[in-house]
Amino acid sequence: MCCKACGMGPCRLVKSGQRGVCGATIDTIQARNLLRSIAAGAAAHSDHGRDMAFTLKAVANGQTEGYVIRDVAKLCTVALKMGIPIEKRSPNEIANDLADLYISQFGQQRGEVVTTVRAPEKRIKLWREHKVVPRGIDREVVEALHRTHIGDDQDYEHLMEHAIRTALTDGWGGSIIATDISDILFGTPAPILGQVNLGVLKTDMVNVVVHGHEPTLSQMIVVASQDPEIIAYAQAAGAKGVNLTGICCTANEILVRYGIPAAGNFLHQELAILTGAVEAMVVDVQCIMQALVEIASHFHTQIITTSSKVKIRGAMHVEFDEHKALSTAKQILRTAIDNYKNRGAVHIPESKADLVAGFSHEYLNYMLGGTYRGSFRPLNDAIMSGRIRGVAAVVGCNNPRSKQDYLHNYVTQELLKQDVLIVETGCGAIAAAKLGLLTGDAGLEKVGPGLREVCEAIGIPPVLHLGSCVDNSRILTVLTQMVEEGGLGDDIDQIPAVGLAPEWMSEKALAIAVYCVASGAYVIFGGSSPVGGQPGKVADSDLLAHYISEGWEKIYGGKLEFIPDPVEMVQATLAHIDKKRSALGLPAWDPSRFGRSGDRLMLEFEEMPVSEKRVAIYG
Ligand code: XCC
Ligand code: SF4
């Protein structure tokens, strides 16, 4: 462990029993470093939520250009949950109040962040007992920085208690706020067909790649790219029009809502430029590699930064402002079009795959229950009967420590064979999409028999794309609704479910991991552990790894473990799912009981000789 919290260091502790100059032990340094990372991750997601709240406030007051409230139903649902009256009020009035309430959560000093009430009742009680309900979003992040300053909090358990509080401000605070407002402003996602991989770039069009996390500007670029004036401008430059695609979570935001193709996930950002076909890569915040500018300098690609928070030396800066969003979007597209004439040789790989994205929890509810009685009953029933063994969320980044997408896809495919329904977000979702696992029929022959029956009956892919990384809040909502539906215990920790980030790399991922643990989930991360050590071992360097696993499990029913080997990751996932099934008294998973219905049976039937068909029908 290395500590550089003060000028007496850096102190590098390489052996058991060593201490820093100030006397800090390995476990303290591990805990301080982890808490700082979680604070940074929670800050990133929450600051995104803050900007969304400011945008909502501006839209409600008619101060923006181009935005409208697209999903009034969601606005009203959220407002009611948050205690804001909706009777005889205009959407703008309601949105204004909701924006004020949400904005106030960031600077709130005392009490509880209001959105945490959306967790299951028993969970909230547990958080209150342990005094970890976040008081204000910014307050917890600031306190994390305070506590980790030299000479402050030095008890690893106490530091980890604040890690829980800080992470909760992200998942049940800033991220929920970001998702709510994105849906209200840009529409709640419903299944939509899209495409993914570098093959979505086009030789005869101006290629603009949007990359980062925020949907506000990219949404306006979608609108501007279809504007007749912009299309005419592109045609005058010799192109057929503007081909808009995305990378990372900005891609996911516009993919799940409008079906705009994704050129790829995190490790595709440089590859997109290497095609020589990208006129402009427009970036906002988070996960943007500084290497882009250097790579782009070997091609004609223009890197354009747009956030007041992010500039990169060598990139063009066109600052986004929601008050003149559409004009900014058009200005960016004109810059890209002007660059089309500078294009050199182009090498676009042919790889691309179809996918269906956009499974919001609202849609899942409708899909499972129908228009008049939206319900999670069929999902719970399928788990209870054993058709679905359990649920796994496979999310998170790419990490060049492993071959791109390999760990994601290994884990996803192995779990599908075992009747585990998969939900995905972020770069994990794009990885599975490239393999074709996100379409209705593709890959169903590689899916366990029970899960296959469910997919065929409802007409869903075995891997559900729930959105961007802040939309991991949707997974929390799904789990809460599963608890409320009944039959799977009375809290999230009892559901046979596991969260995995096989290729995690960002600090945001650590914040997500910890809010999922605090919510009761078993979370498995691949790659390397930021704290080192192993649970169950006894050296002082193992104390923290042990605490965030078994220690947290005793308190929250969830635990965090770092397991680099994908085979072990799958084994640990299945063991946990089976343990939870048996604790609930559900039948043990038995694949031989299912698979005698649905499309497969129909196909077999069609191929039968007539005499056998008769027997099959009349016995
Ligand atoms: Fe970034 Fe969200 Fe990670 Fe992908 S998955 S590399 S954080 S874009 Ni969230
Ligand atoms: Fe070293 Fe302690 Fe300073 Fe960290 S806080 S750098 S361990 S002296």
- Please measure the distance between the N-terminal and C-terminal CA atoms of the chain and give it in whole angstroms: 70
Amino acid sitting at position 248: C
Q: Ligand 2 mean position to 20 CA, how many Å?
A: 5
pLDDT of residue 596: 66
Return the ligand 2 atom nearest residue 19 CA. 7
Q: Ligand 1 mean position to 248 CA, how many Å?
A: 6
- pLDDT tens per residue, range 442-451: 678 889 999 9
Tell me the C-alpha distance between 519 and 170, whole Å: 12
pLDDT of residue 184: 98
Strand partners for 465: 424
Return the ligand 1 atom nearest residue 469 CA. 9
> Ligand 1, from 249, 268, 434: best to mutate by most atoms within 8 Å of Cβ?
249
Beta strands in 519-594 (DSSP E): 522-525, 559-562
Q: 3-state DSSP call for residue 239?
A: coil
CA 498 to chain centre: 15
Tell me the C-alpha distance between 44 and 287, whole Å: 11
pTM summary value: 0.95
Residue 320 in contact with ligand 1 by CB distance below 6 A:
no
pLDDT of residue 444: 82
Return the ligand 1 atom nearest residue 428 CA. 5
Residue 84 has pLDDT above 80, yes or no: yes
Which residue, judged by its Cα, is nearest atom 7 of ligand 2?
20
Return the ligand 1 atom nearest residue 505 CA. 3
pLDDT band at 366 (very low <50, low <70, confident <90, very high): confident
Tell me the C-alpha distance between 125 and 344, whole Å: 62
Residue 346 has pLDDT above 80, yes or no: yes
pLDDT of residue 91: 98
Across 511-531, average pLDDT: 96
Tell me the C-alpha distance between 366 and 348, whole Å: 39
Residue 469 in contact with ligand 1 by CB distance below 6 A:
yes
CA 390 to chain centre: 20
Return the ligand 1 atom nearest residue 506 CA. 7
Residue 440 has pLDDT above 90, yes or no: no
Instruction: Name residues whose C-beta falls within 8 Å of residue 614's C-beta, 6 or more positions apart in sequence.
Output: none
Tell me the C-alpha distance between 361 and 363, whole Å: 5
Token pair belonging to 164: 């829980």
Q: Ligand 1 mean position to 62 CA, how many Å?
A: 33
Which numbered ligand comes closest to the C-alpha of 44?
A: 1
Pocket of ligand 2 (CB under 6 A): 3-6, 8-11, 20-22, 24, 150
> How much of the chain exceeds pLDDT 90, in percent?
88
- pLDDT tens per residue, range 91-125: 999 999 999 999 999 999 999 999 999 999 999 99
DSSP string, 241-309: -EEEEEEHHHHHHHHHHH-PPEEESGGGHHHHHHTS-EEEEEE-SSS--THHHHHHTTSSPEEEE--TT
Which numbered ligand comes closest to the C-alpha of 3?
A: 2
Residue 294 has pLDDT above 70, yes or no: yes
Residue 600 has pLDDT above 70, yes or no: no
pLDDT band at 601 (very low <50, low <70, confident <90, very high): low
Strand partners for 357: 192
Q: How many Cα atoms sit within 13 Å of 355 on the Cβ side?
A: 36
Tell me the C-alpha distance between 115 and 93, whole Å: 20
> Ligand 1, from 267, 508, 525: best to mutate by most atoms within 8 Å of Cβ?
508
pLDDT of residue 472: 96
| Summary mean pLDDT of the chain | 95
Residue 470 in contact with ligand 1 by CB distance below 6 A:
no
pLDDT of residue 604: 73
Tell me the C-alpha distance between 102 and 54, whole Å: 9
Query: Could you tell me which of 272, 216, 276 has the C-alpha nearest to residue 246?
Result: 272
Q: Ligand 1 mean position to 386 CA, how many Å?
A: 33
Residue 213 has pLDDT above 70, yes or no: yes
pLDDT band at 536 (very low <50, low <70, confident <90, very high): confident
pLDDT of residue 412: 97
Backbone angles phi, psi at 72, to 5 degrees: -65, -35
Residue 510 in contact with ligand 1 by CB distance below 6 A:
no
Across 379-386, average pLDDT: 94
pLDDT of residue 390: 97
Question: Which residue matches tokens 């499309």?
Answer: 599
Question: Which residue matches tokens 């078993």?
Answer: 522
Tell me the C-alpha distance between 531 and 31, whole Å: 8
Q: Ligand 2 mean position to 25 CA, how many Å?
A: 10
